[in-house]
Amino acid sequence: MKTVFLDVASLAPDDLDLTPIRQQAGTLALHPTTSPEQLSVHLAGAEVVIVNKVVLDARTLAQHPQLKLICIAATGTNNVDLEAAQRLGIRVCNCQGYGTASVVQHTLSLMLALATRLQDYSAAVKRGAWSRSEQFCLLDYPIMELQGKTLGIIGYGELGRGVANLARALGMRVLIAARPGSEQLDTPSDGRIELSALLSQVDVLTLHCPLTDQSRNLIDAAALALMKPGALLINAARGGIVDERALADALCSGRLGGAAMDVLSVEPPSEDNPLLAADIPNLIVTPHCAWGSVEARQRILVQVGENIAGFKNAVPIRVVGIE
């Protein structure tokens, strides 16, 4: 059996152990990246393909009838034509739940950094403002205590629940938004409320929902205007959920107290992305790294190995497809 990993560099594997894949893969070819021009060559003769972000469309799949299994080294499946794979008899498996602890930890880190103005105080010290101070301390930027504040969560799956648990440990009140696009509240027993009602109450809003037609630009200028003056926004979900121009404007006007984004609408971002401007106050942008702890990336390799073993033993796991 020949197995190819088309974009192993996407997992930054230098600090990882590839043994879980090597033990199951038969002959294994590791490609750091795969361009569209290289795709056909890299797939030649492979029965199993491991892929993170390389696109496997219907035409590509049809050109390689020897393919039997696609292992997605991530949860999202939008880079694989699932309908074509099903039609061609190619099983597709993904990875699930591997990054929960990492993303929850990153989200809390961003919340704390915004609330304490960590970046601003660190920068002030480096430019000598503390050394020139007439007092023993600097208090140039307002610090928010999270205890007693209200956190709003959009997307209450495993990630949203994990963030809620940590927020409650800090003494925060937690509100959960109804699912974007739903006409009625999903589970009133969960205390979910309509988004417009939630936005006006929260001191911090954090996003953990998928990007869909209903959630695209969900947090736009109108939504930001409903939030409390000085509120904080955190997005460790998908960049397209937030209108980036509207967010930049809300921060620059002082309407919003701060924001932290681990994701942007286009990745890698263009240099003219409005959130990459140098003069936006209390904005933190991290490069889609919330999921990427060593432990989380190693779990991906373990799950991919398990998926291949399940396929070989005719007991498939983590199978994805179309309804």
pLDDT tens-digit profile of 16-42?
999 999 999 999 999 999 999 999 999
User: What strand order describes the sheet that includes 69-72?
Assistant: 27-30, 2-5, 48-51, 69-72, 91-93, 319-320
**Spacing of C-alpha 268 from chain mean position:** 14
pLDDT the model gives residue 247: 98
Q: Compute the radius of gyration of the chain from its Cα atoms.
A: 22
Give CA–CA dist 322/84, Å, rounded.
Answer: 10
Give CA–CA dist 272/267, Å, rounded.
Answer: 13
Task: List active site positions.
Answer: 238, 267, 288
Closest CA to 192 of 218, 168, 160, 222: 160
Cis peptide before 268 (omega within 30 of 0): yes
- Do the domains 2-98+294-320 and 100-285 sit in the same CATH topology, yes or no? yes
Three-class SS of residue 173?
strand
**Spacing of C-alpha 146 from chain mean position:** 23
Share of the chain above pLDDT 70, in %: 96
Give CA–CA dist 316/93, Å, rounded.
Answer: 8
pLDDT the model gives residue 190: 58
Structure tokens at 110: 């961003």
Over the stretch 117-171, which tens digit does the pLDDT of each residue have? 999 999 999 999 999 999 999 999 999 999 999 999 999 999 999 999 999 999 9
**Spacing of C-alpha 75 from chain mean position:** 10
Q: Is the pTM above the cut of 0.95?
A: no
**Spacing of C-alpha 232 from chain mean position:** 18
Mean pLDDT, the chain, whole residue set: 94
Per-residue 3-state assignment (H helix, E strand, C coil) for 15-38: HCCCHHHHCCCCEEEECCCCCCCC
pLDDT the model gives residue 187: 47
- Confidence class for position 323, pLDDT limits 50, 70, 90: low
Over the stretch 165-207, which tens digit does the pLDDT of each residue have? 999 999 999 999 997 665 444 444 457 899 999 999 999 999 9
pLDDT the model gives residue 134: 93
Q: E strand or H helix at 285, and its extent?
A: strand 283-285
Domain boundaries, the chain: 2-98+294-320, 100-285
Structure tokens at 302: 């373990």
Count the helix, strand and coil residues of the chain and give each as a percent rounded to the nearest 5. Answer: 35, 15, 50
pLDDT the model gives residue 212: 87
pLDDT the model gives residue 244: 97
The one-letter amino acid code at 181 reads G
pLDDT the model gives residue 179: 75
Fold category of 2-98+294-320 in CATH: Rossmann fold (3.40.50)
Task: Provide the pairing of β-strand 204-207 with 150-154.
Answer: parallel
Structure tokens at 322: 């179309």
Three-class SS of residue 224?
helix
Give CA–CA dist 262/223, Å, rounded.
Answer: 20
Fold category of 100-285 in CATH: Rossmann fold (3.40.50)
Q: E strand or H helix at 93, and its extent?
A: strand 91-93
Over the stretch 225-260, which tens digit does the pLDDT of each residue have? 999 999 999 999 999 999 999 999 999 999 999 999
Structure tokens at 236: 């460790």
- Confidence class for position 70, pLDDT limits 50, 70, 90: very high
- Confidence class for position 1, pLDDT limits 50, 70, 90: very high
